[in-house]
């Protein structure tokens, strides 16, 4: 690692999983090697996941099967973040009703709270996380407690989850059922909210982490809300086009092809008279048109285009629709 490498600016990498480390059952090319290299350059590694149905140990075991470095403590889940959040807000030993998995109940126990499963046990809070076994009666029980005024925390609000047979309802749909029944909204611990990232940084004793993810609406938004540097990689959901068009809160600090680029110098972007230069490429905006001098295949050209477009749209609350003109050098 040289002083100029991007990763040398940080003391930890907080990495998303699907779309960054693996895609389906297979590791993304170069990802495992990039993660293995972090230890040799003195940078800590944590994994952040919204999955509240598996324990960190189960997630770590899966990562090790792929060859990635992963001790159990390096995985931080939305269940852990929910436990941390509840522990900050409740007295030790307080009863918390579990609407979710045994893994979620275990995390609540670990922070000194008492998991219960019925409104009859007089819980002062409800924590809701994904569990494929959740039934109507579980949602009804949660609704009774929430409607009575209990603190309500959701591990995450992902509306869908990928399954072998297709896309299925996620925890967000189950949370929405309780919200519809009660007219209330939960505090959210997982992505895209900040608590998960703050929990991960605390567990790693990191002061300067960088959040790496493939989704703007969860990884990048959550990392930005936490006040951390963020890097979007192009190995998953979001694309160069969607990143360029992103609303302000979802714009990454850095744009990378994949995890291997953490070890490369990140090019400086320089502005001169409203023209933005990155490497050999330049970009400028006039009348809503981004004119880029450079190759559409050159990531530096896209970095310049993002800088130029974002400079004239600093407060975009919705995704934009930029027009691009490419002038090959």
Question: Any idea which residues carry the catalytic annotation?
Answer: 16, 18
Quote the crossing angle between the two packed helices 195-204 and 78-89, to the nearest 10°.
Answer: 90
For residue 317, which phi and psi values (nearest 5 degrees)?
A: -90, -10
| Tally of CA atoms within 13 A in the half-sphere of 290 that contains its CB | 28
Q: Which residue shows structure tokens 């009863």?
A: 95
For residue 57, which phi and psi values (nearest 5 degrees)?
A: -65, -40
Rounded-to-integer distance, Cα 96 and Cα 90, Å: 9
Alpha helices in the chain (DSSP H): 31-38, 56-65, 78-89, 102-110, 136-147, 171-182, 195-204, 221-225, 240-244, 299-312
> Per this entry, what is the length of the chain?
329
Rounded-to-integer distance, Cα 211 and Cα 85, Å: 20
Rounded-to-integer distance, Cα 56 and Cα 323, Å: 43
What dihedral do alpha carbons 71, 72, 75, 78 form, nearest 10°?
180
Closest CA to 206 of 68, 55, 44: 44
Inter-residue contact 105 to 83 (CB < 8 Å): no
Inter-residue contact 231 to 214 (CB < 8 Å): no
Rounded-to-integer distance, Cα 209 and Cα 301, Å: 26
């Amino acid at each position: 690692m040289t002083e100029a490498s991007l990763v040398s600016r940080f003391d930890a990498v907080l990495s998303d999983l699907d779309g960054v480390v693996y895609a389906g059952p297979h590791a993304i090319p170069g990802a495992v090697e990039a993660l293995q290299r972090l230890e040799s350059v003195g940078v800590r590694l944590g994994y952040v996941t919204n999955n509240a149905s598996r324990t960190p140990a189960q997630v770590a075991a899966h990562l090790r099967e792929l060859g990635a470095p992963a001790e159990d403590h390096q995985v931080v889940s939305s269940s852990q973040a929910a436990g941390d959040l509840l522990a900050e807000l409740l007295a030790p030993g307080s009863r918390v009703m579990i609407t979710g998995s045994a893994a979620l109940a275990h995390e609540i126990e670990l922070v000194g709270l008492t998991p219960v499963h019925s409104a009859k046990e007089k819980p002062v809070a409800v924590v809701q996380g994904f569990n494929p076994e959740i039934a109507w009666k579980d949602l009804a029980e949660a609704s009774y407690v929430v409607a009575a005024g209990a603190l309500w925390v959701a591990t995450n609000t992902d509306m869908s989850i990928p399954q072998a047979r297709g896309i299925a309802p996620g925890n967000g749909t189950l949370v929405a059922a309780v919200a519809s029944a009660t007219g209330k909204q939960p505090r959210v611990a997982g992505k895209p909210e900040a608590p998960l990232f703050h929990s991960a940084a605390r567990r790693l004793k990191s002061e300067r982490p960088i959040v790496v993810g493939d989704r703007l609406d969860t990884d990048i938004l959550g990392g930005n809300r936490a006040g951390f540097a963020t890097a979007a990689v192009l190995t998953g959901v979001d694309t160069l086009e969607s990143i360029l068009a992103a609303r302000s809160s979802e714009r990454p600090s850095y744009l990378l092809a994949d995890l291997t680029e953490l070890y490369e110098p990140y090019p400086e972007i320089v502005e001169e008279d409203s023209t933005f230069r990155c490497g050999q490429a330049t970009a400028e905006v006039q009348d809503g048109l981004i004119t880029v001098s450079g190759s559409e295949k050159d990531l530096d050209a896209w970095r310049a285009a993002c800088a130029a477009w974002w400079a004239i749209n600093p407060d975009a609350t919705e995704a934009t629709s930029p027009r691009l003109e490419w002038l090959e050098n």
